[in-house]
Structure formats: C-alpha cells, structure tokens
Structure 1
Amino acid sequence: MEQNKKYSLRSLVLYFLKLGTIGFGGPVALVGYMHKDLVEDRKWISEEEYREGLALAQLAPGPLAAQLGIYIGFVHYRLLGATLAGFAFVLPSFIMVVLLGIVYKLYGGLSWIQAVFYGVGAAVIGIIALSSYKLTLKSIGRFNVESFKSKWLLWLFFFLAAVITFLTEQEQVLLFIAAGILYMIVKAPPEWWNGKTVNSIVLLQAAFWNYESSTLTEIAIFFAKAGTFVFGSGLAIVPFLHSGVVVDNHWLTEQQFLDSVAVAMITPGPVVITVGFIGYLVNGFLGALVAALATFLPCYLFTIAMAPSFKKIAQNKPVKAFVDGITAAVVGALVGSVIVIARRSIFDIPTVLIAFSSILALLYIKKIQEPYIILIAAVVGIIIKSVII
C-alpha cells in the first residue's frame, strides 16, 4: 500500500459521514459511489487498492459496502482510519433507524401506521425475493443442465439450505459451516486437513453459541453470530434475523420484522442497519446499540485482520472454496426464508399485487430504487385500507 496520503483522515471521515447520510440504493450502489468519488473524481484511492478492497469484501463475511469502507479507511490510515471510516459510515443510518424506532413504538398502534406497513410489508417481500434471485445468479449462476453438472455440489447446498430453512423456520449455522468445509475438502483440501479437525470445529461452534444470559447479552451473542454469516448483500442476514428474532426468541412479531426490513430500505447506508431498529424494539436504545455493534464487529475484525496480507489470502484456493460453499448455503437459506415470511405476509389479492408490482418495477424501470418502491407501497397501503374501512 502506498504511503503518499492525498487526503486527511478528517476528510475521509467527513466523506463517509456524507455517504452514510445520503447514500441510497443498497450495497451495489454504495460501492459504485465509492469508486466514482474516491477513485475517479478525487483520486484518493488507486484502482488497484479499490479492487483489493472489493475482493476482500466479497470474500470475507460482512456487509459489502461497510466492509469496503473499512478497508478504504485502512489503506492509508491503518487501524484508526478503518475504525473511524466504518463508524462514520454506519452512524447516520443508525441514528435514523433509532429515531424511526421511537416513532414506531409510540405510534405503531395507530391505524394509519398499520395501513402504511400493510403495503410496505408486501413490497418488502417482492424486493427480497428479487434480491435472493440476483444473489443466486451472482453466487452460483443460472440453474440449467450445464450449471448443475459443473456446480452440482453448490446447488445441493443451496437447495438443502432452502428446504431446511423452510421446514424448520430456523437458521442452521452448522449447515453453513459444514457446506463450507465439505466444499473446501472436495475442491481444494488444505494441507492441515484431517478428520479430527472438523470434529473440533463443530464442537467449538456448538459450544460457543450455547449461552444462557440476560437479554442484552443474548442480543450481543445473537447479532454477532448473524454478522459472521453475511456474505455480499445485507439481505443475506434476513434468514438469520427472522429465525432468531421471530421464531426462537419471540422478540418481534412477523409484521414487526417485516417493518424492520422496510425501515432499513428507506434509510441510507447499509441495509444491515435494520439490526439497530430491531434492537431498539427489543430493548430500547441500549438494545439498538448492542445489536449494531455486535453485527458490525465481525466485519470490522475480519477486515483489519485480513487487510495487511490480503493478496496472499486471496490466492488461497481452500479459503475461496470454503467461502463458496458457505455462500451457496446462505443464499439457499435466504430463498427459504422468503417463502416462510411470504406465507404469512402475502394473504390477500392487494398484497399479492403489491409484491409482484415491486418485482416488475425493479426489473423493468431501470432508475427506480427500493426506497421509492417502499414509499409508493406505503401510499398504496393507506389508500387500500381507507377503501376497505
């Protein structure tokens, strides 16, 4: 990494504060803004440094845009730069979702709020369904004979995770780890591999997450666990959050969970910030703070740990194979969770139409973004509910 700093740390922090405040459009749009602003226009970061950061963000767990921001902070200002850039990027949207959480708690029982989220919930299903399809294309490819022949094991992980998530309505962390290890063994077994190793990993995983504690500690453990398995898109966290928040711990109702995802989509910054809204509903401001910190901590730690020697790590075939295996299972779980949530949220003709209209709008109206669809769906929900009443 070159040491000729073309910008101050203060300038970098202010840039990420601005991006976190006005950066709409999801992870792909956000990483695009960073390239245009920091590589093309300001020339603070070289093309090679940007590509390295993007590759790391795709390889390691963590929300794509936040991880790239942390890496860019690390390029010239190392640990302090990574910390401040990541914090500045997430802070604006965190404040927004907490404020929305306060409003939601105060007025959530009002009929017009319920009407808003009647439409919004259906639109969210459409958006997540399309995102899961795009993630499948990106991670494994189109499902056809040729793809199945060359990537049959990844497709097996995908369908297995989708079916198990649908049937159990829970995230299966051990399944994801097993998928990563098995694919690594088949495609590129590392030198240290032996049968005892996997037994140790599985036992450690099972023991590590088995806790009984207070709500705040439970929130910290659960969201740190979820943040460890977010690959590429913030929406990949949905199956983990849904099973833990709604099914296992009963912290939120199904509708509150959908509302939480919607809130993340209408605010700028990383989609994963939905955890702040969820944390607030569960346990107030401290719950929001703990949930957000725990979710982004794995992303931060992976980035600063891998950044100094990333070129060597990126060429490691066993690491790539492990990530490919986990990613296939995680995307499959996202598909399964979409079916689970849709089964309870798409319950009449208007919600079906809103969901399908959202998908069609994203497919055929090139410049439209998710926040606009959410806002339109909110208005439609109010109109429909007023007519029904």
Structure 2
Amino acid sequence: MEQLPFKEAIKVWIRVAIYSFGGPAGQIAVMHKILVEEKKWISENRFLHALNYCMLLPGPEAQQLATYIGWLLHRTKGGLTAGILFVIPGFVSILILSILYAAYRDVGIVEAIFFGIKPAVLAIVVGAVIKIGKKAIKNEVMFVLAALAFIAIFFFEVDFPYIIVAAGLTGFIGGKFWEEKFHVIKGHYLAEGDKDKDNDENALIDSKIQPVRPSLKKTLKTIFIFLTLWSLPLLIIGLVIGVENIFFSEGLFFSKTAVVTFGGAYAVLAYIAQKAVEDYGWLQSGEMLDGLGMAETTPGPLIQVVQFVGFMGAYRLSGSLDPITAGILASLLVTWVTFIPCFLFIFTGAPYIEYLRGNKSLTTALSGITAAVVGVVLNLGVWFAIHTLFSEVNEKYLYGARWLIPEWSTVNIGSLIIALIASFVYFILKWDMLKTILISVLSGIIYFFIFKELG
C-alpha cells in the first residue's frame, strides 16, 4: 500500500516543532492532537505504547516520541527528520536568548518578555496534564498508581527510575490477577468485541505500514554508528587541543548527564546546577533558573537548558577565543552530546518494542508505567506553579515528607493576573498556544512598563 509522502511528513514535523511549547506535557499533547486526532497517522493505543517506551528512557521524552513516530512512518530518515526538527527551534531560540542574556540581561524588554511568558506556559502545562491524564487514567487502579507516583516524587523525593520500575512491576504482576484493570493500553490486534474509539484501526501506521522485525545485525550496526557519532567531537577536541579546556569538560560532563536524565530537565536540574556552579564555576548562583526559564518559554525540550549552561561556561572561560564565539561553539557541542543518545535509544530499541507490542504482560507493565508518569508530570506542573506564582518557597520536612510551603506575602500579583488571563483565553476562549503566549507577553510588557513604573 502507498505510504505517506515524506514531504508531507516534513511539513507536519515542522509544525509540531514550532508548536512545541509547554514542556513535555504540552509537547506530547500537541503531537497527540496533530498526529492522532487531526492526521490520524497513528492510533491512540499505538501512540501511548510508543510514549511508554520513551518515558522509560533518559532524555527528553517528547523529542524521543517524535523520533519514534517518525521512524514508524519513514524508518531512519523519518526518525532523524522528526527528531532534529523538534530540536532546531529551541536551539536557535535559546542561542539567541543566551547571547542577549550574556550581553544585555538587564534590559527591561528582555525581562518583561520572560515575565509574561511563564504564566502562559503554566496554563498550557495544566491543560496538558488534564488532557493526558484523561487519556491514561481509565479506571480507579490507574488513578491510584498515578496518585502514589505523585506522592512518592513530590513529597518523598523518590527518584524517577525507582517509580518507573515499581509501576512496571505493579502493572506486570497486577495484569496476571486483574487483567481488566491493568490491560489498559491495548495493542492493534484485538478481539472484535474489544475494539473501542481509542483504537482507531484506520490510523495510517496501524493499517498500511508493515512492522519491521528486529535484527541483531542491524541493532549492533546502529549502536556502533551512534556511539561513534556521540564520541567523535570529544575525540577530536582531545586530540587537537587537549583535555584541559572548557569544551572537553563540557562535552564529557553533558555526555554523562545524557544517560541519567530520567524524568526530564527537572529531575537532573539540581545535579547540573550543583556541578556547574560549585564544581566548575560555569554559572553564578541563580542563573540556572534563568536558563530553565528560557527552556520553559521556548519551543523544544526542557533539557535544552543544558545549552544555556554550556554557553555561559564557555562565555566565561573562553580563553583566547571571543566569548560569544566560544559560547556558540559550546552550544553546538552540548546539544550534540545531549541528543545523539536519544537517536541511539530509539533506533536501537523501537524495533523490539514494536515487535513485543502484542505481548499482554509487557502491555500491562507499560499501562502501569503510563499511569505513574501522569503523577510525575503532575508533580512538574505543581512545582512550576509554585515557583512561578511565589518569589520565595520554603522546603520543610515533616514525618519524612518534603513540603514546599510558599511565602504567601511574596505572591507575585503580576504573574497571578497574567496566569488568570492566560487560563481564560486558553481554557474558556479555546485560543491556541501561540496566541495564549502572545497575549501573556503583551501583558508582561504592560505590567513592566506601566504598572511597575507607577509602583
């Protein structure tokens, strides 16, 4: 059967990349709306199956999901195209913002834009959490798993990988005894009476594109190619200019970070901040949050914050190079070593995940994981809301649990008003993300240059 023209897919992946605001929850919601609801290229269950695997991996799950679906549509060239296009808008945006930050950080208009965007992103993330939750939480068992995951990560700071393993084991074992509650994400090959509206058998990938059998030879070849690409910049830097320089240090550090970023940017933020500020001196205290603000308010993965860290480190420790030039080179290097592993994980693992898609034990395990991920994403949304709306947030420990308690006197009235405006136009008027962000930016500029001046 005729497959989707590659040129048409490129146009859609560009659209996905441009609209990829709001962190992983928002980005996944955008892909779901475009690829599942509008284009019907992939069914609901196939989409969630791919998402489950990407949630298991270190790195940005939304970018990996785009790569996975691109691979399903057009194999390697499709995966590369979808994954690379997903990163480009964020890379360009953060590079420009990094240059402005390093040279013009105190300019009022730059501060105003950042101030206005954050509340809009908060509204978008809340909407995305609700939408994804409705898709994944289909019974009380899945709800309990999501709630337990939220409690574990938010109050008890349980590491994301442990939550995923526990949820997977729960789904695997639970499926043996209570299949109807745990077999939530079903494969394409269902009994006639089991088909429901969430499993659209007419989706392009499910009906027209033939699955690929995994091959050990191809797997080993893929691993060799991408490990070579991953290590090549470091080898060149080490051989040409040595290992005692900012570029080799950043390349090595972020190569390590790329394999431990389970749970996305927030999960690894504290680790990066500690190393970058205290050990390496790449950033000053507080600058990491500014960088995270850039990543939160630009298209692309939140983990793109590492690009800002790399830029600022090279900018400060540029040696004989022009600081801006050094920052640009570091941005390219850090982005390379962060995202090459993503392609390695997808192109190596996706054939096996697809091959095992009809396996009920795997499916019930992944159903448990999906429910847990809803709780984890909710944790990110709550964290974001607290730190957006309050200037000071205290951490207190009671009965072994961590409590984030905002200082109510530090509530940011401007952020609260803009968040309400963004919520109104997004949820009530049903404006899209870019319009919502635009009205929030305009509101932020008005606040800074009118109300703040009057204050």
Same fold (TM over 0.5): yes
Query: Aligned pair in 2 of structure 1 residues 313, 241: CA closer, same or farther (>3 Å)?
Result: same
The residue aligned with 1:265 is 297
The residue aligned with 1:19 is 15
Q: How does 1:35-50 map to 2 (within 5 A)?
A: 39=39, 47=41
CA contact (8 A) 1:117 1:259 kept: no
The residue aligned with 1:222 is 257
Letter in 1 for 2:47: L
- Aligned counterpart in structure 2 of residue 313 of structure 1, from 357, 375, 389: 357
CA distance in 2, matches of 1:150, 1:177: 14
Which has the higher mean CA deviation after the structures are superposed, 315-324 or 242-251?
242-251
The residue aligned with 1:341 is 387
CA distance in 2, matches of 1:13, 1:368: 22
**What's the CA shift for 1:189?**
7.0
Query: Aligned pair in 2 of structure 1 residues 175, 276: CA closer, same or farther (>3 Å)?
Result: same
Q: Report SS of the residue matched to 1:366.
A: coil
Query: Aligned pair in 2 of structure 1 residues 312, 161: CA closer, same or farther (>3 Å)?
Result: same
The residue aligned with 2:94 is 97
Query: Aligned pair in 2 of structure 1 residues 31, 277: CA closer, same or farther (>3 Å)?
Result: farther
- Aligned counterpart in structure 2 of residue 289 of structure 1, from 307, 332, 337: 332
Q: How does 1:1-389 map to 2 (within 5 A)?
A: 4=2, 7=5, 11=7, 14-15=10-11, 18-19=14-15, 22-23=18-19, 26-27=26-27, 28-34=29-35, 39=39, 47=41, 54-61=47-54, 66-75=63-72, 77-140=74-137, 147=140, 151-165=143-157, 172-184=159-171, 186-188=173-175, 214-226=249-261, 228-229=262-263, 237-246=264-273, 249-250=276-277, 251=283, 254=286, 257=289, 260-262=292-294, 264-267=296-299, 273-283=304-314, 284-297=327-340, 299-309=342-352, 310-313=354-357, 315=359, 316-321=362-367, 323-324=369-370, 326-335=372-381, 337-338=383-384, 341-342=387-388, 343-344=390-391, 347-369=411-433, 370-384=436-450, 386-388=452-454
Equivalenced residue count is 336
Query: Aligned pair in 2 of structure 1 residues 330, 17: CA closer, same or farther (>3 Å)?
Result: closer
Letter in 1 for 2:251: L
**Could you list the runs of 5+ residues in structure 1 that have no partner in the other structure?**
41-46, 166-170, 191-212, 230-236
**What's the CA shift for 1:188?**
3.8
CA distance in 1, matches of 2:292, 2:53: 25
Give a deviation string over 1:308-367, Cα, whole Å, max 9, x none.
341523542353145236414522531452365244366432233223333333221202
CA contact (8 A) 2:258 2:337 kept: yes
Which has the higher mean CA deviation after the structures are superposed, 90-99 or 276-285?
276-285
CA distance in 1, matches of 2:99, 2:122: 24
CA distance in 2, matches of 1:137, 1:35: 15
Which has the higher mean CA deviation after the structures are superposed, 283-292 or 106-115?
283-292
Query: Aligned pair in 2 of structure 1 residues 326, 264: CA closer, same or farther (>3 Å)?
Result: same
Letter in 2 for 1:117: F
Q: Report SS of the residue matched to 2:357.
A: helix
Which has the higher mean CA deviation after the structures are superposed, 85-94 or 269-278?
269-278
**What's the CA shift for 1:375?**
1.9
CA distance in 1, matches of 2:269, 2:368: 25
Q: Report SS of the residue matched to 1:344.
A: coil
CA contact (8 A) 1:220 1:290 kept: no
**What's the CA shift for 1:107?**
0.9
Which has the higher mean CA deviation after the structures are superposed, 25-34 or 86-95?
25-34
Query: Aligned pair in 2 of structure 1 residues 76, 363: CA closer, same or farther (>3 Å)?
Result: closer
The residue aligned with 1:198 is none
What's the TM-score once normalised by structure 2's chain length? 0.59
Give a deviation string over 1:241-281, Cα, whole Å, max 9, x none.
543344675447557525644555344x5565455445434
Query: Aligned pair in 2 of structure 1 residues 297, 313: CA closer, same or farther (>3 Å)?
Result: farther
**Could you list the runs of 5+ residues in structure 2 that have no partner in the other structure?**
178-247, 278-282, 315-326, 393-409
Give a deviation string over 1:201-246, Cα, whole Å, max 9, x none.
xxxxxxxxxxxx93432233224422x43xxxxxxx3532543344
Q: Report SS of the residue matched to 1:100.
A: helix
CA contact (8 A) 1:71 1:303 kept: yes
**What's the CA shift for 1:94?**
1.8
Identity of aligned residues (%): 19
